[in-house]
C-alpha cells in the first residue's frame, strides 16, 4: 500500500532535517517529577497521578523523550515522524504471515511519537500554540491511518468507520467544551489516546500471532475500540455538562 522507496526516501529526508534543525536547550532538562509538573501546567493543572494508565504512558514517553530533548530535536519534527511511522505500519502489516507482529509494535512507536512531541516541548519549554494545533491535527490523521491499517488486515470496514466516528466525536466534544469555557481536562476517560493505540496495535499484532484467525482478531479489536470510545463519550459528556451548567451563555 505504501511504496518502500517513498518511505525510505522520506525517512532520509526526515533524519537530515531533524539533525539540521536541532537546537540544544539552554537550561537543564528536568527529571520525571519536573516533567509531570510542566505537563500539569500545560493541561490546566490536571494531576496525572490519579490515573495509573496515564501516568505510566507519560513515564514511558519521558524516558524516551529526555535524550531527544537533550539533543535538541524540535517537537514539530517528532510530530512529523509519528505520521511516517503510522504509514510504515502498512509494510509489515501487508506482508502476511507473522509480519503483522512487527506492524503492531510500529503502531505503538507511532502512538508514542504523538506523545513524545509534547513531552519534548514540555522538557525544553518549547510548547507553542502552533505546536498544540499541529499535534491535535496529526493525532486525528494518525487515528484514521491506524483504523485503515486494522481494516487492511481484515477488520470490517463498518466497524472501522463506527470506531472512527466515536473517537472523532469524543475529541470534538472535548474541543468544543474547551471553547465553551471548560479550562481543565475534566476526566481521563476509558477511551483516551493510549487505550486507542494499544487496541489498534493489538488488533494487528495478534493477527500475526494467530495467523489463521487474523480477521477475527481485527474484528474483536475494532469492536472493543468502538465500545470504549462510546463509553468515553458518555463519560466526558457527563463531566462536561456538570462543569458547564451554570456558566453564563456566550453572547
Give the three-state DSSP class for 239. Answer: helix
Q: Across the 251 residues of the chain, what is the mean pLDDT of every consecutive 10-residue run?
A: 83 94 91 91 79 82 93 93 94 93 95 87 89 89 96 96 95 86 73 91 96 96 97 93 72 47
The three-point CA angle 61-175-120 to 5° equals 25
Which residues have CB under 8 Å from 245's CB, separation 6+?
none
The CATH code of the domain at 4-23+30-244 is 1.20.120.1760
pLDDT, one tens digit per residue, over 166-202 is: 999 999 998 888 888 776 566 788 998 889 999 999 9
CB 101 within 8 A of CB 205: yes
Q: Locate cell 456538570: which residue?
A: 242
The residue ranges of every structural domain in the chain are 4-23+30-244
Give dist(CA 11, CA 93) in Å, integer.
19
20 exposure class (CB count in 10 Å sphere: 0-12, 13-18, 19+): exposed
Give dist(CA 170, CA 161) in Å, integer.
14
Amino acid at each position: 500500500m505504501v511504496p518502500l522507496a517513498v518511505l525510505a526516501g522520506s525517512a532520509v529526508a526526515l533524519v537530515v532535517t531533524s539533525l539540521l534543525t536541532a537546537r540544544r536547550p539552554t537550561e537543564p532538562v528536568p527529571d520525571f517529577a519536573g516533567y509531570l509538573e510542566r505537563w500539569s501546567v500545560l493541561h490546566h493543572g490536571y494531576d496525572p497521578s490519579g490515573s495509573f494508565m496515564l501516568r505510566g504512558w507519560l513515564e514511558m514517553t519521558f524516558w524516551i523523550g529526555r535524550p531527544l530533548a537533550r539533543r535538541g530535536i524540535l517537537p514539530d519534527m517528532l510530530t512529523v515522524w509519528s505520521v511516517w511511522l503510522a504509514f510504515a505500519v502498512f509494510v509489515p502489516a501487508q506482508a502476511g504471515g507473522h509480519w503483522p507482529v512487527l506492524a503492531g509494535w510500529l503502531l505503538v512507536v507511532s502512538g508514542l511519537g504523538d506523545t513524545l512531541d509534547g513531552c519534548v516541548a514540555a522538557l525544553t519549554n518549547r510548547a507553542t500554540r502552533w505546536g498544540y494545533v499541529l499535534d491535535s491535527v496529526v493525532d486525528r490523521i494518525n487515528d484514521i491511518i491506524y483504523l485503515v491499517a486494522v481494516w487492511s488486515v481484515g477488520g470490517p470496514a463498518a466497524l472501522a468507520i463506527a470506531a472512527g466516528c466515536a473517537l472523532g466525536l469524543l475529541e470534538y466534544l472535548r474541543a468544543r467544551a474547551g471553547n465553551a469555557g471548560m479550562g481543565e481536562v475534566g476526566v481521563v476517560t476509558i477511551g483516551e489516546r493510549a487505550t486507542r493505540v494499544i487496541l489498534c496495535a493489538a488488533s494487528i499484532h495478534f493477527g500475526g500471532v494467530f495467523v489463521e484467525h487474523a480477521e477475527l482478531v481485527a474484528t474483536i479489536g475494532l469492536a472493543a475500540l468502538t465500545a470504549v470510545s462510546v463509553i468515553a463519550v458518555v463519560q466526558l459528556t457527563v463531566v462536561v455538562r456538570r462543569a458547564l451548567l451554570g456558566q453564563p451563555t456566550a453572547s
